[in-house]
Amino acid sequence: MSRKGLLSLLAAACMMLPAVVRGGTSTDTVTVNGTVAAFAEWSAATNTINIATPISSVSVAQTGSVNLTLYANATTSISAAGGTHAGILTNGAYTLTTKYKLTGVGLAAPDAAYKLADSANAGEFFHSGNTYAIDYQAGTGSYAVTLSVQMSAPPGAAPESGSYSCDVVLTATF
């Protein structure tokens, strides 16, 4: 076979190679789907308020607070309930007058004043009708809430000295 014939045969063979060998591109679009459920959760499951200044006279109230963060991506309301000692600062058989308020830019209607730690009457902090709506804004996701407590001596009496404690349970419902 001549050199010219060999080159012609080689050129014809190259033309028969698949397109992949010659080069080119191929694309595939992959769709990715995910879901986020509606939820509300506190940034921490437990927090503590330590009132640094002790009660030192019958007519003086002391206060403390804790800043909380609620993560929410849906319309949410907060309710409060008394936990240990029904949310009333207690030392054995002795109690202090205990009041609370919930404030923060994340609340639609924050408390303007402290409310008594009781649930018997409307307007009291633990009453079932006392709920707080989060001012839900799509895309916000994080809401600042502050729980403040005020402790004072019972009317007309010096409280027993010692450490007083209680718990408050804040529930976010969405």
% of the chain exceeding 90 in pLDDT: 78
Is pLDDT larger for residue 108 or for residue 16? 108
Q: Which helix (H) or strand (E) holds 12?
A: helix 3-15
How far apart (Å, rounded) are the C-alpha atoms in residues 65 and 35? 36
How high is the pLDDT of residue 156? Answer: 85
> If you write DSSP's letter for every residue of 64-94 in order, what string do you get?
EEEEEEEEESS--EEEEEE-GGGGS-EETTE
Query: What pLDDT is stored for residue 150 in this prediction?
Result: 98
**Contact call for residues 100 and 168 (beta carbons, < 8 A):** yes
Average pLDDT, the chain: 90
Domain boundaries, the chain: 40-173
Q: What pLDDT does 10 receive?
A: 57
**In percent, how much of the chain has pLDDT > 70?**
87
Whole-angstrom Cα distance, residue 14 to residue 37? 58
Mean pLDDT of 6-29: 68
Is the pLDDT at 133 greater than 60, yes or no? yes
Q: Which CATH number fits domain 40-173: 2.60.120.460, 2.60.120.1060, 3.40.50.300, 2.60.40.1090?
A: 2.60.40.1090
Provide the pLDDT for residue 168.
97
Q: Which residues pair with 149 in a beta bridge?
A: 64, 100
What CA–CA distance (Å, rounded) separates 95 from 163?
Answer: 10
119: DSSP letter: S
**Rounded to two decimals, what is the model's pTM?**
0.81
